[in-house]
């Protein structure tokens, strides 16, 4: 059984994919049960994520379903192997009322190979400096204790480290006001923009600025993150943040609209090179204003 006695996000993803592959092969659960010498009840629990599928069982099922794609097989075997793996975020002690939901998101993020982010108000979380994150946390009325704020900053920076080590692709569209609007201090502002320029120079990262005047494009969707896996271009998960939680969408019809919205945002935004030039100009303008003051 998955850790904690309930489905994990990895076991649910694996189970949902196995079910989809079985149906595509036009086989029922009895065929699957016969292939791995188990009961149909176990196949049902495996497909719901209630029990962790063993790597050997996954291999036999993929053979039965005629799956030959090497990357897909490797990815699904990794999900089976890591379904009970302890999340790094459990090493942090901060008080989080929705820790299970946060863990689901961090697990999804850690496994992703392509992350797309639309942010009209803030710099994307994976691109934030510690000082910028701390400023946002201090302004959040839900975070009352200083120790809790410090832990949130540490978690955000650990997320950044995990992402950088993963080599995942990252594409972000950020609305201009999120970059030019007031921040707690000129130093925090300059460092935040300087870090964006540094990250944007990495080959796996693309940052585009949506000009302030593109208000129609900016309203195609609220902030969201789209997560894709393996070589799949289409997202498997859409995540939207609320003040106290993350909403995870997995319905493919819903996700199609978000993918269309992201492409519309990219088309309306400055090119990556233009965006870097804009960020540099904005950062230099902050330095001049500070010196003149």
Q: Which is nearest to 85 in space by CA: 107, 114, 109, 112?
A: 107
Place of tokens 């998955």: 2
CB 124 within 8 A of CB 174: yes
pLDDT averaged per 10 residues in sequence order, the chain, 293 residues: 56 86 93 92 89 90 92 85 67 54 77 92 92 80 63 82 88 96 89 95 96 92 89 77 72 82 96 97 76 45
Indicate the fold that domain 3-82 takes in CATH. 434 Repressor (Amino-terminal Domain) (1.10.260)
Ranges of H-type helices in 37-185: 40-48, 55-64, 70-82, 99-111, 130-138, 146-166, 176-180
Could you read off the pLDDT of 207-217 as tens digits, one per residue? 999 999 998 99
Instruction: Give the pLDDT confidence score for residue 232 in this predicted structure.
Output: 64
Check: CB of residue 32 under 8 Å from CB of residue 64: yes
Sequence ranges of the chain with CATH classification 3.30.870: 93-292
**Structure confidence at residue 291 (pLDDT):** 47
Alpha-carbon span 217 to 221, nearest angstrom: 8
Which part of the chain is CATH 1.10.260.40?
Answer: 3-82
For the chain, helix (H) and strand (E) counts, in that order, are 13, 6
pLDDT at site 160: 86
Determine the Cα angle at 258 with ends 75 and 88, to 5°.
Answer: 45
Q: Is the dihedral of CA 136, 248, 111, 220 positive or negative?
A: negative
Class of domain 93-292: alpha beta
Q: What is the pLDDT of residue 3?
A: 45
CA dist 30 to 22, 36, 40, 58, Å?
11, 10, 6, 16
Give how far Cα 59 sits from Cα of 22, 31, 42, 138, Å: 13, 15, 16, 48
pLDDT of 182? 85
HSE-CB at 282 with a 13 A cutoff on CA atoms is 25
- Rounded distance, CA 282 to CA 193, Å? 8
What is the C-alpha to C-alpha distance for residues 251 and 253, in angstroms, rounded to an integer?
Answer: 6
Using CA of residue 263, residue 264, residue 266, residue 271, what is the dihedral sign?
positive
Provide long-range contacts, Cβ within 8 A and 24+ apart, for 141-149: 142/243, 142/244, 145/95, 147/94, 148/94, 148/95
Q: Per DSSP, what are the bridge partners of residue 206? A: 171
How many Cβ atoms sit within 10 Å of the Cβ of residue 282?
17
pLDDT the model gives residue 218: 92
């Amino acid at each position: 059984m998955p850790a904690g006695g309930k489905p994990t996000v990895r076991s649910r993803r694996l189970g949902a994919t196995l079910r989809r592959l079985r149906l595509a092969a036009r086989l029922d659960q009895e065929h699957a049960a016969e292939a791995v010498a188990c009961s149909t009840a176990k196949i049902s629990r495996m497909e719901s994520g209630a029990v962790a599928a063993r790597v050997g069982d996954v291999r036999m099922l993929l053979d039965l379903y005629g799956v030959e794609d090497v990357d897909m097989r490797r990815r699904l075997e990794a999900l089976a192997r890591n379904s009970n793996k302890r999340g790094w975020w459990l090493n942090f002690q901060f008080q989080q009322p929705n820790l299970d939901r946060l863990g689901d998101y961090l697990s999804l993020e850690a496994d992703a190979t392509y992350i797309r982010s639309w942010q009209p108000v803030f710099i994307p979380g994976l691109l934030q400096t510690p000082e910028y994150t701390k400023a946002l946390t201090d302004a959040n009325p839900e975070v009352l204790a200083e120790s809790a704020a410090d832990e949130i900053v540490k978690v955000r920076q650990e997320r950044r480290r995990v992402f950088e080590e993963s080599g995942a692709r990252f594409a972000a569209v950020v609305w201009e006001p999120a970059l030019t609007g007031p921040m707690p201090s000129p130093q925090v502002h300059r460092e935040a923009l300087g870090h964006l320029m540094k990250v944007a120079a990495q080959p796996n990262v693309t940052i585009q600025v949506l000009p302030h005047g593109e208000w129609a494009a900016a309203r195609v969707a609220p902030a969201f993150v789209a997560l894709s896996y393996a070589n799949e271009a289409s997202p498997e998960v859409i995540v939207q943040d609320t003040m106290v939680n993350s909403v995870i969408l997995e319905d493919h019809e819903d996700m199609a609209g978000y993918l269309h919205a992201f492409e519309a945002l990219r088309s309306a935004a400055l090119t990556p090179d233009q965006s870097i030039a804009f960020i540099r100009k904005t950062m230099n303008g902050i330095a001049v204003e500070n010196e003149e003051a």
